[in-house]
Structure 1
Amino acid sequence: MGLTDDRERFREVGEERREDLSEFITHGNLGGSDPDRVRIPIKIVDLPSFEYDRRDAGGVGQASGGQPQPGQPVAPEPGDGEGDPGEEGGDHEYYEMDPEEFARELDEALGLDLEPKGKRVVEEVEGEFTDTARTGPKGTLDVDEFFKRGLKRHLATDFDEAYVREGLFVAGADVDDVFAWARGNSVPVSHAWIADAAATVAAERDEPIAALDRWASFDELDDAVDPEPVSHRIRRDGIDSVPFRREDERYRHPEVIEKRERNVVVVNVRDASGSMRETKRELVERVFTPLDWYLTGKYDAAEFRYVVHDAEAWEVDRGEFFGVQSGGGTRISSAYELVAEILEEYPYSEWNRYVFAAGDSENAGSDTAQSVIPLMESIDANLHAYVETQPGGAASNARHADEVEAAFDDADDVAVARVSAPEDVTDAIYEILSTESAADGTSAGKAAAGRTDGGERT
């Protein structure tokens, strides 16, 4: 194996050593990425190379006056020995992916299959000329369909004329009797045709129809004569012509395809009260940031709004969202009141809507039961989610997640996830994204209708 092969093999190994997606979400530096560009570190592999010694330029072990004598000290080369540390940083390489690729890889890594729902129709486009109608421009006449319909109708109304004429030779039978007999044998003949045939036969024989007796009864005729099937007659004689009617005409039209805009608005909510220390805030970031990337990659258009709260709520930009902290108390309902106002800008008939909230599950008094749950029921959304971040496990006064879970225990559009360490992050993301109903996007309010505050059905 030559040097070129060695280098190619080392390059392949380097690409394979990109951080696993789950490892990156759990422990990686999420802040090094942008909303539309995810940068995942690659573990560097040094490629092999040769270094050559300039034998005529001197070097360690070779003095300027020739070979050193035993015991003679050797002067160090410039740059050897102690000195100031270097100021240049080490090499860092990244594997970059857009949100679409990130969403595909997360689907594969976690076994997800979220299919975005189209909302408002933004345009109607014309497809291939596969639809037909009774009217249209002459140039769009579907000749094949026209012929098929005419032929089908012709075959459906065809009958063995000689067989029906034999009915005219039954003793005592008139036109009405022959018509009743023919229709009783499922022959698609008209009364007018039989009347014309009777007149023709009588004229040919120059005697009245009653005098042309050949059969004593219709039963005798049926025993002696069988009608010839249409298929046999066509194979023998072929078809000279197909009598078309205007009702057989069909005109080709393009298939109308509705293009629906798959857009989404995500409102991220975070507790910024004094109890939300740095570790808890980091867990929120590790859950919400991949969710933002994922939904950006899944939808045609995605908008994100960020709300933080203590006892009051206010809107911030993304840069402030994960870092801001206050020293106040906690009233989670204040955030949902603001969420309801924000979502008035995004009609549910036109937007997919997600409301993701996170905190340490601490809330003031009965605020969860009396205010938060009714607000969640009233806010139409594809998915409501609450992420409890309690390193080391839930505190005794952290009841919000439990109360929400009890109130929406059978809802398919409300998720509750608990994260006590970075290792829980991917499980929380899966819990949230796998909860949304793939059927109809029913709102939490509809799913929870008919409940009491305790979460029981009325």
Structure 2
Amino acid sequence: MGLKDDLERFREVGEQRREDLADFIQYGDLSGGGRSDIQIPVKIVSLPEFEYDQRDKGGVGQGEDGTPQPGQPVGQPQPQPGDGDGEDGEPGEEGGDHEYYEMDPEEFAEELDEELGLDLDPKGKKVIEEKEGPFTDMTRTGPDSTLDFERMFKEGLKRKLTMDFDEEFLRELCKVEGIEPREVFEWARGENLPVSMAWVEEAYGDVSDERGKWDSIEEVEENVERETVQQKIRREGIKQVPFRREDERYRHPEIIEEKEKNVVVVNIRDVSGSMREKKRELVERTFTPLDWYLQGKYDNAEFVYIAHDADAWEVERDDFFGIRSGGGTKISSAYELADQLLEEYPWSDWNRYVFAAGDSENSSNDTEERVIPMMEKIPANLHAYVETQPSGNAINATHAEELERHFGTDADDVAVAYVNSKEDVTDAIYEILSTEGEADE
């Protein structure tokens, strides 16, 4: 077994023993690792090992210079330096290192898709390369090596099947006593044979010396076997298939645009005085897996973090979840700043997600008069708002409800989720990501 096999086996064991993904999102420590690597605790399994029995038992041995003689009891072993957990054999107080299963965002996204039943298909926007694909396009001209002979043959064969007929049988009809060319022509048309009147008149003249061979058309039908076009082709071969210049088509490579899947995620958080520790934790527990997921889904992911109370300002990720101010709340200030920052990420080249979270408290009329118009103005794959109210809804916490009333619950680019406890986190993540999935479909 080589190193590659060992690594694969380690991955299998890690997947089996790591903490359940949903439990990790709801209750685990999400601060471990960074944005590019996720550390999920592994359930440690104690391996069997030999242990010295401390009970006083006799034994026999042989030896000299103080070693036990036959029949002499063996005494207790003397403590050795380092045998104790701490100094002087006292129990140690330092805990051991925890074991983690490291997962990159791409693997995290795959696991979350499986865990929650998601299937987000990221869209590429920015064209980074044009290349020749398979020869699926057709042109009327081209080198002989690209001639689609199969298509040309089919066109010629279809023409023969629709235009050919049993000429010998019609010539026999022209030999019927007293028959006229018009009668032969009408009989052929009744049989859906693609024959012209000119052809019948010419054939009628060619067999004038044999006229009277048959007494009626019925006699010809009883005594002359008709040949189908398919039988005629088998007899004559493909040399008789009528190929024409207009049947020629030349295979041409399809031009494929290779598009880069870029995404910018704007995370907005209310940091006003009402956003206490439990609410902040629920925001972090919801937003962090969303960041990991989208980073794993896209080729290039950028993140913008905006904190706001009555005013809004851009912050670093490390500060985003810990900031708290004592001011009031004006959610529209964050959307106005987001609109400015997104100018660096054109909608034509970037997928956009705008995620906001808070306790739904907002300044009077701000949601209706300013936030909703801003959400409608900013083009994005998805706008989402997460309400966190661990102790239940406050009287003036109406922002989420106002969004639902305006956009409805079936909007394909706006999601509203409620997180009142850790148990609600995975449901909220599913609500958000499945809404964007419906929009993709």
For Structure 1 versus Structure 2, the TM-score category normalised by the shorter chain is 0.7 to 0.9
Q: CA offset at residue 109 of structure 1? A: 1.6
Q: Which residue of 2 aligns with 1:4?
A: none
Q: Which residue of 2 aligns with 1:17?
A: 17
Give the alignment of 1:185-224 within 5 angstroms: 185-201=191-207, 205=209, 212=211
User: 1:14 touches 1:44 (CA, 8 Å); kept in 2?
Assistant: no
1:158 aligns with 2:164: yes
Partners of 1:122 and 1:423 in 2: CA distance: 42
Q: CA offset at residue 107 of structure 1? A: 1.6
1:342 to 1:219, Cα distance in 2 relative to 1, 3 A: farther
Q: Which residue of 1 aligns with 2:310?
A: 311
1:37 aligns with 2:43: no
Q: Which residue of 2 aligns with 1:352?
A: 351
Aligned residues: CA RMSD = 3.6
1:219 to 1:364, Cα distance in 2 relative to 1, 3 A: same
Partners of 2:142 and 2:199 in 1: CA distance: 35
Q: Which residue of 2 aligns with 1:331?
A: 330
Q: CA offset at residue 256 of structure 1? A: 4.0
1:106 aligns with 2:78: no
Give unpaired runs (5+ residues) of structure 1.
1-8, 54-63, 68-73, 206-210, 442-458
Q: CA offset at residue 96 of structure 1? A: 0.8
Give unpaired runs (5+ residues) of structure 2.
1-8, 54-64, 69-76
User: 2:233 touches 2:240 (CA, 8 Å); kept in 1?
Assistant: no
Please tell me the residue identity of whatever aligns with 1:42.
Answer: V
1:124 to 1:323, Cα distance in 2 relative to 1, 3 A: same
Please tell me the residue identity of whatever aligns with 2:312.
Answer: A
Partners of 1:325 and 1:374 in 2: CA distance: 27
**CA deviations over 1:340-361 (Å, ceiling 9, x no partner):** 2222333334332211100111
1:440 to 1:24, Cα distance in 2 relative to 1, 3 A: closer
1:220 to 1:431, Cα distance in 2 relative to 1, 3 A: same
Q: Which residue of 2 aligns with 1:454?
A: none
Three-state SS of the structure 2 residue aligned to 1:438 is: helix
Three-state SS of the structure 2 residue aligned to 1:49 is: coil
Q: Which residue of 2 aligns with 1:143?
A: 149
1:115 aligns with 2:121: yes
Partners of 1:93 and 1:370 in 2: CA distance: 51
Deviates more, 1:373-382 or 1:249-258: 249-258
Please tell me the residue identity of whatever aligns with 1:365.
Answer: S
Three-state SS of the structure 2 residue aligned to 1:30 is: coil
1:361 aligns with 2:360: yes
1:308 to 1:170, Cα distance in 2 relative to 1, 3 A: same
How many pairs were matched up? Answer: 410
Partners of 1:30 and 1:213 in 2: CA distance: 102
Q: Which residue of 2 aligns with 1:71?
A: none
Q: Which residue of 1 aligns with 2:435?
A: 435
Partners of 1:351 and 1:119 in 2: CA distance: 6
User: 1:272 touches 1:325 (CA, 8 Å); kept in 2?
Assistant: yes
Partners of 1:433 and 1:92 in 2: CA distance: 32
Q: CA offset at residue 234 of structure 1? A: 4.5
Give the alignment of 1:172-183 within 5 angstroms: 178-183=184-189
Q: CA offset at residue 132 of structure 1? A: 3.6
Q: CA offset at residue 286 of structure 1? A: 0.6
User: 2:177 touches 2:211 (CA, 8 Å); kept in 1?
Assistant: yes
1:153 to 1:288, Cα distance in 2 relative to 1, 3 A: same
Q: CA offset at residue 111 of structure 1? A: 2.1
Please tell me the residue identity of whatever aligns with 1:150.
Answer: G
User: 2:412 touches 2:439 (CA, 8 Å); kept in 1?
Assistant: no
Q: CA offset at residue 118 of structure 1? A: 3.5
**CA deviations over 1:416-446 (Å, ceiling 9, x no partner):** 11222222211211221122252457xxxxx
Please tell me the residue identity of whatever aligns with 1:406.
Answer: R
Q: Which residue of 1 aligns with 2:3?
A: none
Three-state SS of the structure 2 residue aligned to 1:290 is: helix
User: 1:310 touches 1:330 (CA, 8 Å); kept in 2?
Assistant: yes
Please tell me the residue identity of whatever aligns with 1:309.
Answer: H
**CA deviations over 1:377-402 (Å, ceiling 9, x no partner):** 22222211111112222222212112
Q: CA offset at residue 40 of structure 1? A: 0.7
**CA deviations over 1:1-42 (Å, ceiling 9, x no partner):** xxxxxxxx9998876332111121122221112111111111
Q: CA offset at residue 123 of structure 1? A: 3.6
**CA deviations over 1:63-96 (Å, ceiling 9, x no partner):** x9999xxxxxx99765668658868651222101
1:155 to 1:16, Cα distance in 2 relative to 1, 3 A: closer
Give the alignment of 1:439-458 within 5 angstroms: 439-440=439-440
Give the alignment of 1:47-446 within 5 angstroms: 47-50=47-50, 90-169=96-175, 178-201=184-207, 205=209, 212=211, 227-234=226-233, 241-410=240-409, 411-440=411-440
Partners of 2:404 and 2:11 in 1: CA distance: 49
Q: CA offset at residue 415 of structure 1? A: 1.6
User: 1:121 touches 1:260 (CA, 8 Å); kept in 2?
Assistant: yes
Three-state SS of the structure 2 residue aligned to 1:31 is: coil
Please tell me the residue identity of whatever aligns with 1:272.
Answer: V
Please tell me the residue identity of whatever aligns with 1:362.
Answer: E
What percent identity do the matched residue pairs reach? 65
Three-state SS of the structure 2 residue aligned to 1:372 is: helix
1:110 to 1:10, Cα distance in 2 relative to 1, 3 A: closer
Partners of 2:252 and 2:389 in 1: CA distance: 61
Q: CA offset at residue 304 of structure 1? A: 1.3
Partners of 1:336 and 1:10 in 2: CA distance: 46
Partners of 1:308 and 1:96 in 2: CA distance: 30
Three-state SS of the structure 2 residue aligned to 1:433 is: helix
Partners of 1:418 and 1:275 in 2: CA distance: 17
**CA deviations over 1:112-146 (Å, ceiling 9, x no partner):** 22222333444443333344443221111123333
**CA deviations over 1:252-303 (Å, ceiling 9, x no partner):** 2234444343322211100111222222211111100000001111222222
Three-state SS of the structure 1 residue aligned to 2:380 is: coil
1:139 to 1:89, Cα distance in 2 relative to 1, 3 A: same
